[in-house]
Amino acid sequence: MARYLTPVRIGILILTEQYLSGQFASSGQLGVLSFIASHITARGGSTGKEGQDAFVGLDANAAEILGPLAKFASDVPGRTAYDALLQRLWKLDGLDAAYELFERLGQVIAPISEAEEVQKVVSRASPLSQSIRRCSVEFTRLQFADTQALWAAFVAWRASTYDIWAQRNPDAAACYAEIATSSGDHPANARRSMTEEEGRYVSAEDTNDLITSSVHHLQKMGTRVPDAMRRKLQSWIHEQRDAGVQSLQHFLAFFEHWRSGQYTMALESLHRYFDYSLIGKGPSGGTENMRIYYQYALLHLSVLHADFDCWEESVDAMDECIATARENQDTACLNFALSWLLYLRQAKPDNRVSAFGSVSGLLGGTAGEQDEISFLKAKARETKHWSLLSSTLLEEAKLDMYMTGSTTKSVELIMQSAFVNVQHDLRTLMPATSLFEGAAFDRLAQSQLAARAHDTIQIVYGDQAPLSDRTRSLCRTAYGIAQNGRCSAGLDMLRDFLPCVSGVLKLEQRVTAFMNLLQLMGSLRQCVLGDPELDFELDLLEIELYIRQRDLDTAMKAVNAHIRQTEGHSPADIAHRLHFLVLKSTIFALSGQATKGFSIALRAASTAARLRLLPTLLEAIAALATTLKDLSEFDAARRLLDAALPMMIETRHCRLTARSFVTLGEGHVGLAGTTCAPDSSERLQQIRAAEALIERGRESYARLEDTSGVLDCLVMEAALARWRGDAQLAARADAQYAQIPRDRHEAAE
């Protein structure tokens, strides 16, 4: 595989040779020269749109690339430069012709000792000569088999122009066809042509550029590589044997995994990238390279950790990154790492201590956040690191908003940041600034202006904005619209946006959450409030949410409020009241105050029994049993549930059944522990029973798709199995436990 040469470049070389021999009409020469120039000039850094344009021709065939030449005239009347080129292109009739071409090209360039200026010879320093020389050097260095592959690729590449050429040169075409049929039946040729079909020939350098640019894009935009493109990239990478490309591939994979939320895979890919980069880069030995790359690897590692909420690891990695960067005197990396550290601390204030330690150590003395920010700002100005300056300003604005609450000051800082962005063309940072601007305006109750700021991101920065910023702004906009009363419009907006974030797990989740929120908002508004039935269900859901969030205080308050509410009004449904009472006892049980809940549950149960409110009664019994269990009255709990379970199953109230099964199982475990003699068969029997019950509970939870319930059951099962010494069963339970989050994950993908 050639490092640089591709069929396209050979085509351009042929054109160059033709141009130098003056085969084009004087009117066309300039055009041809500019065409050549556009192909041989080095791609200027792969930033912005130009970088992407450079790859357009990579996958195209000869007809597509050389087609524009048809505009220019050749020195033969009636023939365009395209025709002339095709004629030359097809004159290459074999591998040997390629060698001849490069031999001829070698003579075109002026010799090193320029004794006299010869006409029609390219000087050594000219761009044309540089490109020719580069190609020639590469061609000389190619192994024979690589040359063969290059030639085959060239033949495949030019095939698209056969029709046009044959039309213009029927004689030559007939001759060619004859040779092709006579020599084409060689099995080796057939084999080769089959392999050629699969992918176009791309040089190592192009692949490298392409991957670098893709990585850059991923890094900047936070998007994912489209499937089709990934396949193509894979096929190209597969052909490369260059170690650098191989390692970049892992870097690409790292971003892919990261976006799709596969934390461990991302970590693995990052490490792999680092390992392979050490091998690949240069023969000078790994240690030197390691020092250069290590800090960046750490930086990525830290960001990755942070993104998956592993704050401790993230801060640790960042600390080491800072240390390494200081050692290597890499100011850019150091400053960036410091600003990240600042962000980390704000994102997770719990880690204050460790974060402070490192930063204050750096700055000398126990510095406050303000000091750090001013330090970073000064550093950024000093090193002309404008993106750092801009982001630090934003950070300061955020701090101001959070702490001192002076929004005006924040707005001023945001404006400063915007100014820096505009002045230094920091397009990727502009959306972030706009976001802050929007937030600030929101605080100033200028929602119209805030909406404008958000719109700016969508309209002005569109494709160039990082996906996360876009998502954030879109969600805010949609929310704003919903607040405006156009709920469905906001929903539609989000729904349209959903395909853009597909594959990026976090953003996808965010958009879905916002959609749910809007839907809820909409439905709350639409439904006629005051329908007591609905109110009750809503209230129940609210309390359940609190319980799920383990916010038991609030839950208790809400329950108490509802109980009070139902107390006063005579038309209140007694069933509702009882239900709330049961809930109250459940909350007590959950908070470890089972005794308090006991009487409440008992009262509720007896009332329900009296009133024949069977569902409520069953709920109450379940709560009572839980309380009894918590009070170590295992036998009582067991007998209660044994009696009630058939009825519960009849109600088809799945959650209730599940909970009861589990409680019953727990009761059996308690019995085994308290009443049975150690190592007795009785005890084993109890445990077996418990296991069976918990298994049934798990099944019920599974039917409810209540993951946390299932997980709890699995933990219990594993513990019981382990007690019994059944390692196999325990392992199975563990495996299932591990499998469930993964499944959920994939479902989310």
Partner 1 sequence: MALSSEQQLELQTQLQQVVVACNERCLYFAAKWSAELLNSFATSEDGPTDDGEDTDIDDDTDAPPHGQYLNDDPKEARLEARELPRFFLAKSLFDCREFDRCAAVFLPTQVPHSTSSPQITSPTRVPLSSSQLKLHAQVSSKGKSVFGRQPAKPKTSALPKNLSQKALFLALYARYMSGEKRKNEDSETILGPADGPVTANKEIPGILALLEEYFNARGGLQDITNSQGWLDYLYGIALLRTKSDASAKQWLLRSVNLQPYNWSAWLELASLVGSPEEMQQFSEHLPRNIMSLFFHIHCSQELFQQTPEVFNALAQMESIFPRSAFLQQQKAMLHYHGRDHESALQIFDTLLKEQPHRLDGMEIFSNLLYVLPNRPKLATLASIASDVDKFRPETNCILGNYYSLISEHEKAVLHFRRALTLDRNFQAAWTLMGHEYIELKNTQAAIESYRRAVDTNRKDYRAWYGLGQGYEMLECHSYSLFYYQRAAALYPGDPKMWAAVGNAYAKCNKTANAIQAFKRALVVGSHIDTSSSFGSSGGNNDPLAHAVGGALDPQILYEIACLYEKDGAWDEAAAYMELTLAQEEGAGEEGVGEEEGLGVTQVTCRARLWLARFCYARGEWARTMELANELCQDGWEVEEAKGLVRDVRGRLALAEEEEVEG
Tell me which residues touch partner 1 (CB under 8 A): 93-97, 99-100, 103, 140, 144-145, 148, 151, 183, 186-188, 191-192
Choice between 151 and 634, CB closer to partner 1:
151
User: Nearer Cβ to partner 1, position 26 or 144?
Assistant: 144
Q: Would you say the C-alpha torsion 685, 689, 692, 694 has a positive or negative sign?
A: negative
Least separation in angstroms between residue 98's CB and partner 1 is 8
Backbone phi, psi, residue 524, to 5°? -60, -40
- The CA-atom distances, in angstroms, between 386 and each of 349, 377, 430 are 27, 9, 12
Query: Rounded to an integer, what distance in angstroms lies between the CA atom of residue 243 and that of residue 232?
Result: 19
Nearest partner of 46 among 164, 212, 196, 234, judged by Cα: 212
Q: Which is nearer to partner 1, 183 or 523 (CB)?
A: 183
**Packing angle, helices 614-630 and 654-674, rounded to 10:** 30
Q: Minimal distance in Å, beta carbon 1 to partner 1?
A: 15
User: CA-CA distance, 414 to 392, in Å (whole number)?
Assistant: 10
Report residue 139: phi and psi, to 5°.
-65, -40
Nearer to partner 1, 93 or 382 (CB): 93
Min dist CB 200 to partner 1, Å, is 20
Tell me the closest approach of the beta carbon of residue 188 to partner 1, in angstroms: 4
Taking the least distance from each CB to partner 1, the nearer of 159 and 643 is 159
Question: Residue 146 Cβ, how far from partner 1 at the closest point, in Å?
Answer: 10
Distance CA 88, CA 83 (A): 9
Question: Closer to partner 1 at the Cβ: 186 or 352?
Answer: 186
Determine whether 26 is exposed, middle or buried from the number of CB atoms within 10 Å of its CB (0-12, 13-18, 19+). Answer: exposed
Q: How far apart are CB 190 and partner 1 at their closest, in Å?
A: 10
Tell me the three state secondary structure of residue 74: strand
Give the nearer residue to partner 1 in terms of CB position, either 186 or 291.
186
Q: Name the residue nearer to partner 1 (CB basis): 98 or 457.
A: 98
Euclidean distance between CA atoms 333 and 326, whole angstroms: 9
- Distance CA(487)–CA(491), nearest Å, equals 6
At 122, give phi and psi (nearest 5°). Answer: -80, 135
To partner 1, the closest distance from the beta carbon of 179 in angstroms equals 10
In the bound complex, what is the minimum distance in angstroms from residue 94's beta carbon to partner 1?
5
State in angstroms the smallest separation of the CB of 152 from partner 1.
9
The residue (of 175 and 460) whose beta carbon lies closer to partner 1 is 175
Taking the complex as a whole, how short is the minimal distance between the CB of residue 105 and partner 1, in angstroms? 14
Q: State both tokens at 390.
A: 């801009």
β-sheet bridge partners, residue 80:
73
Q: For residue 118, give the nearest of 132, 107, 103 by alpha carbon.
A: 107
What are the Cα distances from residue 96, in Å, to 544, 545, 546?
Answer: 80, 78, 80
Q: Given the complex with partner 1, which of 147 and 260 has the nearer CB atom?
A: 147
Least Å from the CB of residue 202 to partner 1: 21
Cβ closer to partner 1: 90 or 263?
Answer: 90
Residue 57 DSSP symbol: G
Report the nearest approach of partner 1 to the CB of residue 177 (Å): 17
Q: Are 686 and 669 in contact (CB under 8 A)?
A: yes
Integer Cα distance of 375 and 378 in angstroms: 5
Provide the residue count of the chain: 749
Within 8 A by CB and 6+ apart from 399, the residues are 346, 369, 370, 373
DSSP-assigned letter for residue 309: T
Interatomic CA distance for residues 35 and 68, integer angstroms:
8
Please give the Cα distance from 512 to 504 (Å, whole number).
12
Q: Are 58 and 210 in contact (CB under 8 A)?
A: yes
Tell me whether residue 146 or residue 313 sits nearer to partner 1 (CB atom).
146
